[in-house]
Structure 1
Amino acid sequence: MTEPDDDTARLLADAAQDFLRNAHDRERLRAVFEKRSTVDRGFWRQMAEQGWLALRLPEAQGGSGLALAHAAVITEALGRHAVPEPFIACAMMPAALMAALPPSPAWAPLHRGLIDGRHVSTVAWQAHPQAMDADEPGIVAEPAPGGVRLTGRAFGVVGAPMADSVLVSALHEGRPSLWRMPRGTEGAVWQDVLACDGGTVSVLDVDMLLPADTLLAQGPRVAAALQQALDEATLLAACQLVGTGSAALALTLDYLRTRQQFGRTIGSFQSLQHLAADVRIQLALAQAACMAALQRQPGPAREGDARADAQARAAIAAAKARACDAALQAGRFGIQAHGAIGFAAEGDAGLFLKSAMRLSAWLGSAPQQRRRHGVLTGLHED
């Protein structure tokens, strides 16, 4: 992502590295080779104890009230350790929505969960598999005896098996709305798919009755808050990818310094030096793009300024595109340089590539983000 440029960011970066070095066991990531999830609720609660889940919540709501750049410090650190827990989807996005929308008793369990980590929430917003923006939702809420009936489908729900509540985006009386749905609600059918890094992505089909008091918010503010949460999540994912790519390159360079062939360390081979230099350049460009995007995020000040909004979102698209390419290139170079051990479950190189693959696909791949950048800057038609 960036070098921390204030005392808080530097303290966060140091604390995150110390915590993850001691608390995160990379061995658990190998569960994916046995077709098992690598996500750990106990580790999630440990992250809550660090204050990370509530980092973006306003101080008035019991959070730290820190800036997006501070959250980026954490996501980059998570990337450096290939942490599979859906921190962005299940902490940063719910926190962004909670901070932007009016208070409601329905938020209570979600709020407590961001403080202590015992209640996990995720967001169901994606109307079709390729969606990257908060367009018209694929779920409709209609009045029904005793509450509302939700019908429809949402794609790309991240972290659903570990979630206790799902924030469901729906069209209600012609207006955007957000509802809290307990994970085990009757009438919800889940198709959970194990991702390549041991996380999960799910499709949600609903035909259910929800009480009226599960309504979190309704109206144009919901669409604006959801779009802002998605923009921030995309940028944080880019920063996490930079961390993943940086760690993959560091792991590979260490191997190049020690592995010998033909009586020489393989790091002395010019072809591998050139490949390593290419990866380092791409990661530096991705870091710069993330920094530029973070600097273009003026928060509430951009409300009503369509040009500033488009420029900020274009910068995010550029950062995600570069970060996807750089992290995947670093992961593939690691596999290539490690040779056979790079493909083996016992090797660590593949763990970082798997993490990069999953994060690159989420919220828009590099080609999708480049297309989006062109539309936002007027270079391409929508």
Structure 2
Amino acid sequence: MRFQLTDDQRALRDGVRGLLARRFDREALRAAVDAPGRLDRALWRELGEAGFFALRLPESDGGVGLGLPEAVLAFEEAGRVLLPGPLVATHLAAGVVSGAADGSVVVADVDGGLVEWLDAADVVRGEAGGAVPLRSVDPLTPLHRVAGRRMPGVSEADPVAVLLTAAEQLGTATRACELAVQHARTREQFGRPIGAFQAVKHLCAQLLVRAEVARAAVYAAAVTAEPVDIAAARLLADEAAVQGARDCLQVHGGMGFTWESEVHLLLKRAWVRARRGGGGAESEELLAADLTA
């Protein structure tokens, strides 16, 4: 079966991309890196006004009334630009926590003993006692380790949270592919673009294949909403983001490791996201249980 985005879905994706291009461009990304732990509240409220957090909230409750496929498209765009903040937690809290839907309140979740953006959050869902700050590998994702747990009734691996994280990883994998191809076309060695050399061609091709395979899995899981499909999509998206960022670094060489480059930020964010609930071993166990049932 061949899946195609509807005109409305394309318009939504383009609208989110345009908003982020205007409000969180490369300069804003660098500013966020230089001020770690500071959340742009004005941008957060603007996201709320645009319906980012209330996409799946029914219209009768003041939401947009769309579904999981549309939320996936929005979060893919957020992952593509490395938008900081507890996006998934606040989105899931829309309709449950007052102010989450319109972006006036920032919500964080306890996830496997970790909390992202604890100091910036207005509400923390779960018990977060004994919070200890950690040195996060990603300067755009402050972390605390807590001696706590999620709220009763909130799963440690909420399927929607798992899928939205996969969508963010997909966006990051797509951006890694774009940057690698752009650099391969413009960077020259021995009088030729480095993209003319077979080794670089293979890296770029692998980047594209992993990203597109992950895209198909994430989009399909958004349609079926089956936990097993979501687990498979998460594994593919994590691999596409982490390995894609590694290959993008390989294409850039030493330039990719410089603080001025955004390439290393892609890898660092992908590493941190991959540790969220529902990734890695949890998704593998779910798939294994389904295959052996």
TM-score under structure 2 length normalisation: 0.89
Flag structure 1 segments of 5+ consecutive residues without an equivalent: 99-106, 130-154, 170-182, 207-216, 298-311
Report the equivalent of 2:106: 120
Flag structure 2 segments of 5+ consecutive residues without an equivalent: none
CA contact (8 A) 2:180 2:251 kept: yes
Report the equivalent of 1:77: 77
Report the equivalent of 1:313: 227
The Cα shift of 1:233 comes to 0.8
Secondary structure of the corresponding residue to residue 114 of structure 1 = coil
Q: C-alpha deviations, 1:69-108, integer Å up to 9, x for none?
A: 111111000111111222112x22213xx4xxxxxxxx5x
Say if 2:172 is the partner of 1:244: yes
CA contact (8 A) 1:4 1:13 kept: no
Report the equivalent of 2:98: 111
Report the equivalent of 1:271: 199
Greater C-alpha radius of gyration:
1
CA contact (8 A) 2:157 2:278 kept: no
Could you list the runs of 4 or more consecutive aligned residues of structure 1 that deviate by over 3 angstroms after TM superposition? 27-35, 364-368
Q: C-alpha deviations, 1:247-292, integer Å up to 9, x for none?
A: 1110110111010001111000001101111121111111111122
**How many matched pairs?**
289
Report the equivalent of 2:15: 15
Identity %: 31
Counterparts of 1:228 and 1:343 in 2: how far apart (Å)?
A: 34
Report the equivalent of 1:93: 92
The Cα shift of 1:194 comes to 4.7
User: Which structure dedicates a bigger proportion of its chain to strand?
Assistant: 1
Report the equivalent of 1:342: 256
Aligned ranges 1:164-243 → 2 under 5 Å: 164-168=122-126, 188-197=129-138, 198-205=140-147, 223=153, 226-227=154-155, 230-243=158-171
The residue identity in structure 2 corresponding to 1:287 is R
Counterparts of 1:33 and 1:48 in 2: how far apart (Å)?
A: 23
Say if 2:245 is the partner of 1:287: no
The Cα shift of 1:32 comes to 7.3
Counterparts of 2:33 and 2:16 in 1: how far apart (Å)?
A: 27
The residue identity in structure 2 corresponding to 1:190 is A
Secondary structure of the corresponding residue to residue 100 of structure 2 = helix
Counterparts of 1:368 and 1:35 in 2: how far apart (Å)?
A: 33
Counterparts of 1:57 and 1:370 in 2: how far apart (Å)?
A: 30
Report the equivalent of 1:332: 246
**Pair 1:31–1:189, CA change in 2 (3 A):** farther
Secondary structure of the corresponding residue to residue 161 of structure 1 = coil
Secondary structure of the corresponding residue to residue 63 of structure 2 = coil
Report the equivalent of 1:303: none
**Pair 1:51–1:238, CA change in 2 (3 A):** same
The residue identity in structure 2 corresponding to 1:324 is D
CA contact (8 A) 1:39 1:199 kept: no
Secondary structure of the corresponding residue to residue 115 of structure 2 = strand
Give me the CA root mean square deviation: 2.5
